[in-house]
A and B are shown apart, each in its own frame.
Chain A
Amino acid sequence: MSGASCHIAGVGLLGPGLPGWAASVPVLRGDATWVAADPVLPPPALLAPTERRRTGAVARLALAAAQEAADGQEIAGLDTVFASSNGDGATVGAILDALTTEGGDVSPTQFHNSVHNAAAGYWGIGAHSTRPSVSLGGHDDTLPMGLLQAAAQCAAWNRPVLFCAYDAPLPPPLEACRVTRFPFAMALVLQPGSGGRAALRLWHQAEACAAASPRSGLRDALEDGNPAARALPLLEALAVPRPAGLCWNLLDGGTVRAELAPC
């Protein structure tokens, strides 16, 4: 069968009115009303205090979801796939400001935090992990393409993979060019073999998705406001849990499709 098959062994979530996966299940199932609230970004418990102080809001956002998903797992043994459209936009924006301000100096800490794999690097430090890690971009395709690639890695190398998708608003003046309305992060631990919460199979196809089904109120509120929030249909199905066929249209044509089958 074509595509990449894996099993979901852990879930993490942090977004507006979604203070963690476990705490958000009733809202995702539609059993409780979603109430808008700014997500609280905790200092990463994984990191020693010196490293913790160096992390910005974006790394904290990513690590919060990653850590929740990996809770109870052998974290140092997970390969990782981090996916983000904007990366650490606040840091990139601060460097751009410095570069174009008379006498402005780029700070060394800002520069090494500006790399797109900064969150992944902090994860490796905190998890004491030497496992392979990749960081992906992807603009509006970040979530479906990142998830597809994480599943491909899991299936190709027969290894458990931590997938984390995260994005946060850019600072001005960049934010007008790339609107991201709120911080949102989600993470999954994907494992080969069997077990876990659900089986997941993903594939890419050239044809567009069939007409979209009606969206929940939660999806209406969040799905278009952050590239990582495109995970909501998957998270809603996983929260019930119920089988689901999912489809994400991509920027330049083609789609990523997924089948979710709860165990």
Chain B
Amino acid sequence: MTPNASFPPLAITALTAVSAMGQGLDATREALHRRRGGLAPAAAADDVPGAWTGRVQGIEAVAVPPDLAEFQCRNNALAELALASDGFAEGVAAAVRRHGAARIGVVLGTSTAGIAETEAAYRRRAPGEAALPADFRFATTHDLHALPRYVRRRLGLAGPALCVSTACTSGARTVLEAAALLRTGMCDAVVAGGVDTLCRMTLQGFASLSLLSQGPSRPCAADRDGISIGEAAAFLLLERDPAPGALAVLGAGASSDGHHMSSPHPDGLGAVLAMRAALGSAGLPPDAIDYVNLHGTGTRANDAMEDRAVAHLFGNAVPCSSTKGWTGHTLGASGALEAAIAAICVEDGLVPGCLGVDTVDPGFGSDVAVANRAGRIGRVLSNSFGFGGSNCALVIGRA
């Protein structure tokens, strides 16, 4: 499954994340170290009794710049919050000075873009009225392309803009697409990442599958009972040729289950293939990995499948955990968010043990951390899996 051509390491020259853990990397870092999760009971209006969500505070107050007002929606407002965090927009501006605006691409993932705006437009109709309100802006809110278009225009970029939507692998998968643009020389830098925001569609959809946890999600726990849905934005500015020791994406791999639309392959075949592809692309053996950030959604099926896949490759020799107990499952943003978390783990030498887990599933064969551990973390493998049998794994470390 290793690509014939090996993966060129990509420098992460700017990085930001906003989730229920907080706005920016410092807040995220502090939440991880202090083991302070961001989940809370869902709002009554969400209509998912007993479920918790990972809501980002303050999105409602964010206005996009007046010249981009047509893009105003929850998803783009969260993107705006992230662009304003960690000096990300300034980092991109510096890249524009290095390479020129036309040489910088935007590749972003989302599963539902601004569909909350569409849901609101449906609800705003007068009784008996079929047509949506005249002021509803489909192309710049609901449409998947609204996200990369907004970010590209907001950052004043003139390279290609691409929207990836592969359900819950979207954010991770953008790294592979960015790598292809960089490797072919079509871009000199790419803004990759993902944004997804809370909406009724995903809350009610996962509820219909009976996959929402009662109370906060407890990935890998013996008594885990499902997902808490969250929202997040995370961006990585990627460039070729990282300096030695610089934070970098060292490998990336993807696979398909080819098995079922919503159930993972029971033995985690697709997950194993994606992890192997990521390791192979980086030219690394499994024992070069110091921590596995699991997809770890908290559902019975995902976590059991993923444990089998991780144990198949790593045995119990590598600590692993899911950080979705902090943030909830942020769907199309999760792969990008967890790449940012992986970078923090490398910088801080941190294994953030699963939050809120008393007893790890006794059937698990991997080394699931349930308390924070400190140590040298040279490289992190970060997993993302999604509906449609989509799998993606990233290796984050230092070049």
Interface residues, chain A, with chain B CB atoms under 8 Å away: 2-4, 54, 76, 85, 87, 92, 95-100, 105-108, 111-118, 120-122, 124-125, 127-139, 141-142, 145, 148-149, 152-153, 155-159, 172-174, 176-178, 203-206, 250-254, 256
Contact = CB atoms under 8 A, between A and B. Distances in A.
B379 interface: no
Interface stretch (B83-91, B154-162, B241-249, B300-308): B154-162
Given A112-B209, A131-B256, 19 more contacts: A3-B186, A95-B201, A99-B201, A115-B167, A117-B167, A121-B256, A124-B256, A130-B270, A132-B256, A134-B254, A135-B388, A137-B145, A137-B165, A139-B149, A152-B181, A152-B184, A152-B186, A155-B180, A158-B3
B208 A130 contact: no
B184 A159 contact: no
Contact of A149 (B119, B145, B180): B180
Given A112-B261, A174-B132, A152 B166 contact: no
Given A152-B184, A156-B179, A118 B208 contact: no
A99 B125 CA distance: 14
Contacts, number: 233
B255 A204 contact: no
Given A112-B261, A115-B111, A152-B180, A96 B201 contact: yes
Residue among B162, B185, B186, B388 with the highest chain A CB neighbour number at 10 A: B388
14 contacts: A112-B209, A113-B261, A124-B256, A130-B1, A132-B277, A133-B256, A133-B390, A135-B388, A152-B186, A177-B138, A203-B186, A252-B152, A252-B161, A254-B158
Given A134-B177, A135-B164, A99 B184 contact: no
Contact of A136 (B105, B113, B164, B261): B164
Interface string B189-202: 00000000000110
B162 A136 contact: yes
A47 to B, nearest CB: 11
Nearest to B200: A99
Given A99-B204, A134-B166, A252-B153, A112 B387 contact: yes
Contact of A158 (B4, B130, B136, B388): B4
A145 B160 contact: yes
B138 A204 contact: no
A136 B165 contact: yes
The size bracket of the interface on B is 35 or more
Contacts of B368: none
Contact of A115 (B119, B122, B386): B386
Contacts of A155: 180, 183-184
Interface in B244-272: 253-262, 269-270
Contact of B144 (A116, A134, A253): A116
B139 interface: yes
Which are the 10 A-B pairs with shortest beta-carbon distances? A137-B144, A121-B388, A116-B165, A132-B254, A111-B205, A177-B138, A124-B256, A156-B180, A112-B262, A137-B163
Residue among B136, B145, B206, B277 with the highest chain A CB neighbour number at 10 A: B145
A158 B119 contact: no
Contacts of B254: 132-134
Given A106-B205, A115-B387, A136-B165, A129 B173 contact: no
Contacts of B119: 96, 99-100
A138 B144 contact: yes
Nearest to B260: A125
Interface string B326-364: 000000000000000000000000000000000000000
B118 interface: yes
